[in-house]
Copies of this chain bind each other. A is one copy, B any other.
Amino acid sequence: MRKGIAEERDLVNKLDRLGFAVLRAPASGSRTKLDRPDIIAGRVGLHLALEVKSTHQKTLYVKKESIHQLMRFAEKFGAKGLLAIKFKHQCPDWILLDPSLLTPTEKGYKINLKSAIKTGIGLEALVTKKITDYS
């Protein structure tokens, strides 16, 4: 079972309640080399490709390729590519973050809880704010 699968189900259910049709990727991804996000969610006018990340730490580190394949998929699909981040036991809500807001590191990217809260958006903003498909 994929790490963080319980978190992913929670996110799927919340997106569903916000009016999105949602599809999770299969848990085993080893059989394909195609780019793919963890979740695709759509409502008429807004399609999202989401990479789900969770951490117990105060800073989230993400591998370069994880972000790059997400953005390749999102551009090809015609969706907005976002990170869906859960800072466990620190912030009860999902934070959605445009990958361009991450700080580059040697091996990839990072963001801390404080910056994520400041620059990210909550799930509800998907339906209350005007967000378009392209980053």
CB within 8 Å of B: which residues of A?
A: 9, 12, 16, 19-27, 31-32, 34-37, 40, 42-47, 49, 73-74, 76-79
A-B contact pairs, 15 of them (CB 8 A): A19-B76, A20-B77, A21-B36, A21-B49, A21-B79, A23-B36, A23-B37, A24-B26, A26-B26, A40-B40, A42-B47, A43-B76, A43-B78, A45-B78, A46-B78
Chain B residues positioned under 8 Å from A43 (CB to CB): 76-78
Chain B residues positioned under 8 Å from A47 (CB to CB): 42, 47, 77-78
Do A73 and B37 form a contact, CB below 8 Å, given A47-B78, A78-B45?
Answer: no
Chain B residues positioned under 8 Å from A16 (CB to CB): 34
Number of copies: 2
Contact check: which of B23, B27, B76 meets A21 at CB < 8 Å? B76
For the complex of A and B, the 7 pairs showing the least CB-CB separation, nearest first, are A21-B77, A42-B77, A44-B78, A21-B76, A26-B26, A21-B73, A42-B78
Chain B residues positioned under 8 Å from A79 (CB to CB): 21, 42
